Structure 1
Amino acid sequence: MTTVAEPVAQAADRDHRSHPAAPSAPPRRRPLGLILVPLVALLLMSIAAGVSLGSVSIPIGDVWAIVAHRIAPGSFEPWWTQAREAIVIESRLPRSLMAAAVGASLAVAGGVAQSVTRNPLADPYLLGVSSGAGFGVVVLTVLGIGAGVWGVFTLPMAAFLGALLPLAGVILVARRAHDTTAIVLVGAAMTMVFGALNTFVLLVLGDDHQLGTVMRWLAGGFGDAGWTMLWAPLGILAVAGTVVLLCSRHLDLLLTGDDGATAMGVNVPRFRILMLLLVSLLTAGAVAVSGTIGFIGLLIPHLAGYLTGRTSARLLPTAAVLGAVALVLADLAARSVSDGAELPVGVVTGVIGGPVFLLMLWRRYGKASV
């Protein structure tokens, strides 16, 4: 008698063999805890380094003491200055936490997009979701609605509504074509369309100040990070990530193909729409606070798959932590390039992520050609 696990395992094996980017899977399956615990420790150390280093260096021991004192007053007798406490609590800590939340969101969104489309090159940017989210934010910025306190609420909503526009086109064409390749092709077209719309809105409707503001935002970064902006990506990640994990078995069944998943009881069209909506929501929450940051959603799921295999219940949590670590370190690198200057984080992820992804492609195709 054939079990549910057998076709999933066979499909996962086929997916891995045909995967153009992922390295070879580990020979044996490691317990998930042995993977996540070191990664979470690395994440905590990365956040501590991100808070510690900067134009004013603060010892990591002082960082932990300041945070502990703020959480539990009286746990330490303060020996640090009020200025250093303000730097840690009001500036660097929310910035590092926001980078972690955005990195985790983009990595999970990329992993889900690749599973739903069965395409290793799919990510929120290639599907057009990011460009649509950016369009929503650009329109709101040009209209002057996203400024001030209300921007904490209006920007994520505008980003999500903007992300739905290209997603609607992707879904309509994909349902008609009954082909996951159509999702990626239409998404690529939507990316160009909404990129052009962003330029049009800025040049025709925006002024020079808005143009400079939006261009810096589109390059990606966390210069405006604060506690009030942090709750949107964190809340979206918690809700959407939980739903995705609960649906991980159905994501694995999609590896068998639409017919195989349908035979296992999955309503494939509805499930695919639900997952793409969650991808849009995760991307919108990230783009609204950070701008467009490339390669996290594309590259991190492949690295997570190398550590865990392609099973969604193992891959997605690992990808979330890896994405958080990667973007915290990228933000730290962006702040550390030179004194008094800060690179856009999207530049750092592009400079590092591009060659790494090319190396993974070269290794994969090199092994396949032997």
Structure 2
Amino acid sequence: MIVNGTRLRLVNRAGTGRIGRPPVRGPAVAAVVGCLLVGALIVSVCTAVTLGPADITVADVAASILSRAGFADPGLTMIEEGIIWDLRMPRVLAAALVGAGLALCGAVMQATTRNPLADPYLLGLSSGASVGAVVVLLIGVQTLLPVAAFIGAMVALLATLGLAQLAGGLTPARTILAGVAVSSLGGALTSLLIFWHAQGDSYRDILSWLMGSLSGVGWSQVAMAAVVLVVVGAPIAASARLLDAFAFGDAAAQALGVRVSTVRWLMLAATAVLTGVLVSMSGAIGFIGLVLPHAARLVVGTGYRTLLPVSALGGAVLLIWADTAARTAFDPRELPVGIVTAVIGAPIFALLLAGRRENR
């Protein structure tokens, strides 16, 4: 590739393990995969709402949705309507939004840091949010938990980027190392707070949040997550070409006219905002942002124009079913959804790594 009279050797560093231009599947393949995932998402939402102690069918859910749109009365009792719309539907939609957002953030971070192991918690965001959440849970002001978790995530981001800048510049390697340092410090502070102050109900609340949980999510949180996902996700999707340029390294991206440092700062800030909002309502949920982008690459290639929406849709479907398993597998006890995503994500990621080795 020749840019400004200079011949560039394009080396794919997006984590595919291959040399040359990142493979991009045809638009027909991407369209089919997208349609299948949209259908799977709709089916997953309608089915997940029916699962639980109450005897509610998919037909009941569909009829209730149609009645809210102004069609015929579904014939459900007030209790059944309450179970659908006050308990299960907001939780299922929250799982879809959180899963989509975390997968989107993972794809962006893997591009901007050129690290195939990057996920939304790489820069210490999770540990920062955990410190903020633990503080308000210990104080007993749970209404401030989303705000505290978000502030903690933002402080962690600034600390990570500031430390990387002081170390010599915002390069991928320095950013990752700074994120590890900030994450370790945040984990230590969280453990110290729990050791000295947590007891009784506060200890159980803290443990539930740290392991990830969507219980108690309401419509206001769903609306907040949806707005932030649209506001942050739309500019990221529009920047797909910039993310493609990062796959070839900073020098090649800069030769193509990309302001590497500025774009990287903006992208990391956007993912931090989105992660902070999502983590504030779901707690620490791992592996979604790590696994889904890799799985999407196997299906639609590494072009970010298709990779981003496919990763988001896949993350939404995966977290819906992970959360459904978490709340139904050991009923009446509820398993933290973070445990379920780890149980699912670790073997999948191992298979993806094995597949990459075979394709080399």
* TM-score in same-fold range (> 0.5): yes
Selected match of 1:92 from 88, 98, 118: 88
Q: What is the SS of the residue equivalent to 1:260?
A: helix
Provide the aligned C-alpha RMSD in A.
Answer: 2.4
Cα shift readout 1:40-71 (whole Å, capped 9, x = no counterpart):
11001111111011111311011110121123
Cα gap change, 1:190 to 1:109, in 2 (>3 Å): same
Q: Which residue of 1 aligns with 2:151?
A: 161
After the TM superposition, which residues 221-300 of structure 1 pair with which residues of structure 2 at under 5 Å, given as runs?
Answer: 221-300=213-292
Selected match of 1:56 from 54, 57, 60: 54
Q: Which residue of 2 aligns with 1:35?
A: 33
Selected match of 2:345 from 345, 350, 353: 353
- Measure the CA separation in 2 of the matches of 1:257 and 1:16: 12
Deviates more, 1:338-347 or 1:171-180: 171-180
Unaligned regions of 5+ residues in structure 1, if any? Answer: none
Contact residue 133 and residue 283 of structure 1 kept, 8 A: no
Structure 1 residue 353 displacement after superposition: 0.7
- Measure the CA separation in 1 of the matches of 2:55 and 2:324: 12
Query: What is the aligned-residue identity percentage?
Result: 38
Q: What is the SS of the residue equivalent to 1:78?
A: coil
- Measure the CA separation in 1 of the matches of 2:276 and 2:120: 10
Q: TM-score, normalised by structure 2?
A: 0.91
Q: Which residue of 1 aligns with 2:182?
A: 190
After the TM superposition, which residues 1-370 of structure 1 pair with which residues of structure 2 at under 5 Å, given as runs?
Answer: 2=2, 10-12=10-12, 15=14, 17-18=16-17, 30-72=28-70, 75-147=71-143, 151=144, 155-175=145-165, 176-177=168-169, 179-368=171-360
- Measure the CA separation in 2 of the matches of 1:248 and 1:28: 16
Q: What is the SS of the residue equivalent to 1:52?
A: coil
Deviates more, 1:238-247 or 1:257-266: 257-266
- Measure the CA separation in 2 of the matches of 1:354 and 1:256: 28
Cα gap change, 1:279 to 1:221, in 2 (>3 Å): same
- Measure the CA separation in 1 of the matches of 2:27 and 2:258: 27
Cα shift readout 1:17-38 (whole Å, capped 9, x = no counterpart):
527xxxx968756443222111
Amino acid in structure 2 at the alignment position of 1:167: L
Q: TM-score, normalised by structure 1?
A: 0.88
Structure 1 residue 126 displacement after superposition: 2.5
Cα gap change, 1:248 to 1:25, in 2 (>3 Å): closer
Contact residue 39 and residue 321 of structure 1 kept, 8 A: yes
- Measure the CA separation in 2 of the matches of 1:365 and 1:295: 20
Cα gap change, 1:179 to 1:228, in 2 (>3 Å): closer
Amino acid in structure 2 at the alignment position of 1:125: Y
